[in-house]
Amino acid sequence: MAAQHGHRHGDHTASFDFADAAPRFKARAAAEAAKYRRLAEQLTDPGDQVVADIGCGAASMAFALAETLPKAQVVAVDAEPAMLDLVRERAAETGAAVRAAQASVDDADALAAAVGAPADLLWAGHVIHHASDPQAALDNLAGLLAPGGRLAIGEGGTAPQYLPWHVGVGSPGLELRLIEAGSRRLEGEGVEHGSTPLSYGWNLALEKAGLTQVHEVNELDATPAPLEGTDLHHALESLNTRVGWFEPYLSDADRAAWARLLDEDGPDWLGRRRDLHHLSIDTYFTAVKP
């Protein structure tokens, strides 16, 4: 798969260049390392021998798994060559025993070859909802598990929110409309690619994949205003990225408002405000192969 994705909605075309974004992915992975270490400790068993991070991106989970399970085979799987190059770069820098392998979540045979052996734990963070058929993707992943193996997926939750309801630029509810634009982008991608969206919850999808002991965990991230330092930097980076991704689905008025708010040299730059906060819920599900 090429390192650039595109989609069309009406007369708008948006694309995402993974190679260009790799440095941002790497910086974000470093910032989230502690979070993924905690999650890896919760998801793993000491006897796990084969574990994989599916749709890995910068492979935050893969590196956390390698740290938590130093004797296990750890595979970072992604469809994007630029992301796999980043994984290999990070592995060389850290000395972590993480193997990079290319496969799309939609390609059952490639996934099986990438993982290489029945898995004790598979993690897929915020990738299954992009599959052309999410239920089929879960079915395929379930088939890669060893008996008693676990599948963990990061899906659902809430999009992060950083701004007051009204920031004095544009109309009230600006950030809520950005979140809604993201939903419409995902819907548009699905229509373009002929995807089959789930019409039921992720817990039921895991059960339909033949898995048991389905468990949902919700983790709240609530950092009060004012955001400062790294927290502020990540908020601005997140907003910049999402505005870029969802721009074709925003109104002209909202695009103009975001341009003002994200202009570091302008009088309305968000980085100078003291009323930004961070509120989000990360949701993940775990399930077991009988």
pLDDT by residue, tens only, the chain of 290 residues:
233 333 333 333 345 565 566 566 666 766 777 889 999 999 999 999 999 999 998 899 999 999 999 999 999 999 999 989 999 999 999 999 999 999 999 999 999 999 999 999 999 999 999 999 999 999 999 999 999 999 999 999 999 999 999 999 999 999 999 999 999 998 988 888 888 889 999 999 999 999 999 999 999 999 999 999 999 999 999 999 999 999 999 999 999 999 999 999 999 999 999 999 999 999 999 999 99
CA 287: distance to chain centroid?
Answer: 19
Is the CB of residue 249 less than 8 Å from the CB of residue 181? yes
Q: What angle do CA 257, 243, 178 make, to 5 degrees?
A: 75
Beta pairing, strands 278-288 & 158-161: antiparallel
What angle in degrees, to the nearest 10, is found between the helix axes of 174-193 and 229-246? 50
Ordered structural domains, the chain, with CATH: 15-288 (3.40.50.150)
User: Using CA atoms, how far apart are residues 253 and 20, in angstroms rounded to an integer?
Assistant: 28
Is the CB of residue 227 less than 8 Å from the CB of residue 162? yes
66 burial (CB, 10 Å; 0-12 / 13-18 / 19+) is buried
Hey, which residues does 76 pair with through a beta bridge?
A: 53, 100
Place of tokens 């609530």: 222
Contacts 24+ apart (CB under 8 A), 18-21: 18/80, 18/82, 18/83, 19/82
In degrees and rounded to multiples of 5, residue 132 shows phi and psi of -65, -30
Q: What angle do CA 228, 234, 237 make, to 5 degrees?
A: 125
248 secondary structure, DSSP code: G
Place of tokens 């809604």: 180
> Whole-model pTM?
0.87
User: Using CA atoms, how far apart are residues 63 and 71, in angstroms rounded to an integer?
Assistant: 13
